[in-house]
Chain A
Amino acid sequence: MDILEILLTTGFWAATLRIATPLIFGTLGELICERAGVLNLGIEGIMTMGAMAGWMWVYQGGDLWGGLAFAAFIGMLFGLLHSSFTVYLGLSQHVTGIGITLLASSLSYFVFRMLLPDATTPPKIEPFQPYAIPILSDLPLLGPSVFTQTPMTYLALICVAVIWYGLYRTPVGLAVRMAGENPLAVEAQGIDVLAIRTGAVMVGSALMSVGGAFLTMSAFDAFYFGMVNGRGWICVALVIFASWRPGKALLGALLFAGIDALQVRVQQVSGAAIPYQFFLMAPYVLSILAMVIMARRAAYPKALLVPFRRGDRA
């Protein structure tokens, strides 16, 4: 079986979309934060928190969509915490983000252990099931793969369109983009920069959290320690790869997931000729490469990492 054959299997395309879904959510979330001028390195922890919170909601008897909403809400709270530090107090976005990641992940584990002190094997929930879109799912190849996914994957795709529209076609999107380019311009037009940035970080963090929840509520059915496993950091790299554009973020996530899905399959074919650890490295190596390749063209939002303090002019 060569690579071309792999590319023609429905399993490959289904896996690509499945791997891409949390990355799409996470990348969009990070993108919104950065467009407003705030680097959110809390992403890894917020995704962990979302994975735990959404799962726990369902495990405690709530329904799946409620769990999703709960994950989003918890993500927002961490976004609020992040922005209180970085937006209102103007603290280092790097250090705050790492602090939030430490806090959110350790708190997730604490709460999980607290509520399930004796669980030796992770308990399971009934996750989202694939939904075959009528008619479209009858298409060859694409039908059973692209159009037979869980609702969260469809939601991720819808989010791409909604966020593109929101950023480029609405007044509030213009304000968000402007806040990331020149916050003084936003303030001079009578809009509260701090509120815009806070809002963006909260919405972005909610998306990250939902991305994490996908792992426990759709891709798998249980919460494991360390299950986010660097996906958050990969999203940060993908935002750079995407030049801060939602459409390209989708493309980047799919490309990335495609290569990841491919390597798993090539690994199965190649047997033990190449140690499996090198295949597992692929996503991280790819992320670094993506950033290096795009570096020369990267058009950072000009006010990224720059805190805005009212009255701190000139």
Chain B
Amino acid sequence: MRLELREAPPIWLAGLAPVLAVGAALLLCAGLIVWTGESVLEAYALLVKGAVGSRFALAETLTRATPLILTGLAAAVAFRAKLWNIGGEGQLYMGALAATWLGTGALDLPPLLLIPVLLIAGALAGGSVLIVPALIKNKLKVDEVVTTLLLNFIILLFVNYLLEGPLKDPMSLGWPQAAPIVDEGLLPKILEKSRLHLGLIIALLAALAIWLVMRFTVWGFEIKAVGLNARGAAFAGINVNATIIRTALISGGLAGIAGVGEVIGLKGYLTLDLSPGFGYTGIAVAMLAQLHPIGVVVSAFFLAGIYVGADSMGRAVNIPTYLADVLVASSVLCVLVSVMLVRFRIRRG
């Protein structure tokens, strides 16, 4: 058995592949549900209902999708350049930290100024932590997967320290949390009686912006070229190192904005459980979207729906909510295979 490159993969197949892959993942996880003794159809129906079955459910899903769009974009942009940024989680917290630092009274500005300042500060904070692994990769050829991963642990401990020390809110009754963001710094809600906030619009605009950058700009061209063939890109005159650094800033910046959004849009203050792994899930979002910025929006909604739906399913029937994580992980692996099968055909001999 061997794989042969298809000369021109049919377009319908390329579009259908992720859908089939998710179907395969659902089927695989059905096995786990059978093992729990619950009815597969009922479980999935509960999951769907919990995700989109009511106005409240839908608003929760959209709220959950907001940071995932941004961390998904962060991973998608970086992976396009083959910059393996697995540090979205840490960058997210750095963004949240920057928003906390500037947004809890340090700046006295009207909302129209303060919110953009916080977003930019968060983006810079997120971007700057990815600069370090990017520089080490450029100069010393050290694999950035491991360095970005390890930085997540370091940053989380650092945030932990700040929340128990310098940034601890004296009013918090002993909980490790920071002082609340001033009212001028909070994002308005965009749907009554829900937690859905303006961050969703920001995330959607970010996706649109990234799509435009990738499609119409020199920067986007360079990011793609470096990712597909760095040697060829360098030969053609593209500054590979500069492109990597630029990509790192954009990618880390997007993850940083995700952190700002959670603090000033949803929670109102920084805690250690600000993110249940949005940075890591962003990688899955990007993979499901095959790194396409608009696809990221779709897959972020999808994965957010799975998580929100699984929570409510877990309350109703005896299935551990970790099913959502298993479903997401197996979707990622199935999509990898399906994309492969679009580009190649399997031949005997």
Contacts and interface: CB of A to CB of B under 8 A. Distances in A.
A295 B141 contact: yes
Contacts of B153: 229-230, 281, 284
Contacts of A287: 146, 150
A6 interface: no
A295 B139 CA distance: 10
Given A277-B161, A291-B146, A295-B141, A110 B323 contact: yes
A237 B336 contact: no
Nearest to B320: A113
A109 B150 CA distance: 22
B328 A102 contact: yes
Nearest to B82: A94
A9 to B, nearest CB: 26
Interface stretch (B205-213, B241-249, B280-288): B280-288
Interface in B150-174: 150-151, 153-154, 157-158, 160-161, 164-165
Contact of B149 (A113, A233, A240): A233
Contacts of B283: 98
Interface string A118-153: 000000000000000000000000000000000000
Given A103-B333, A109-B320, A291 B165 contact: no
A288 interface: yes
A91 B146 CA distance: 19
A166 interface: no
Given A96-B336, A284-B150, A311 B157 contact: no
Given A94-B145, A292-B142, A110 B325 contact: yes
Given A107-B326, A295-B141, A295-B142, A275 B3 contact: no
A59 interface: no
A41 interface: yes
B35 interface: yes
Interface string A222-263: 000000011001101100100000000000000000000000
Given A292-B142, A295-B141, A296-B140, A99 B336 contact: yes
A99 B318 contact: no
A3 interface: no
Interface string A201-234: 0000000000000000000000000000110011
- The prevalent SS among residues of A at the interface is helix
A136 B85 CA distance: 48
A285 interface: yes
B2 A309 contact: yes
Contacts of A278: 157, 161
Nearest to A85: B336
B146 A237 contact: yes
A89 interface: yes
B337 interface: yes
Nearest to B349: A311
Contacts of A309: 2-3
Interface string A273-307: 00101101100110110011001101000000000
B284 to A, nearest CB: 7
Contact of B330 (A85, A98, A103): A103
Interface in A53-97: 81, 85, 89-92, 94-96
Nearest to B323: A110
B228 to A, nearest CB: 13
B290 to A, nearest CB: 11
Contact of B329 (A85, A91, A99, A233): A99
A106 interface: yes
A42 to B, nearest CB: 11
Contacts of B287: 95, 99
Contact of B146 (A103, A236, A280, A310): A236
A85 B79 CA distance: 19
Given A106-B325, A107-B326, A277-B160, A99 B332 contact: yes
Contacts of B113: none
A190 interface: no
A209 B153 CA distance: 22
Contacts of A96: 333, 336
B32 interface: yes
10 contacts: A91-B340, A94-B145, A95-B287, A102-B329, A106-B329, A233-B149, A234-B150, A237-B146, A288-B146, A295-B140
Given A89-B337, A230-B149, 16 more contacts: A41-B145, A94-B84, A95-B336, A98-B145, A98-B283, A99-B333, A100-B333, A102-B284, A103-B333, A107-B329, A114-B320, A233-B146, A277-B158, A281-B153, A284-B153, A291-B143
Q: Which 6 residue pairs spanning A and B have beta carbons closest together?
A: A106-B325, A113-B320, A102-B329, A103-B329, A295-B140, A277-B161
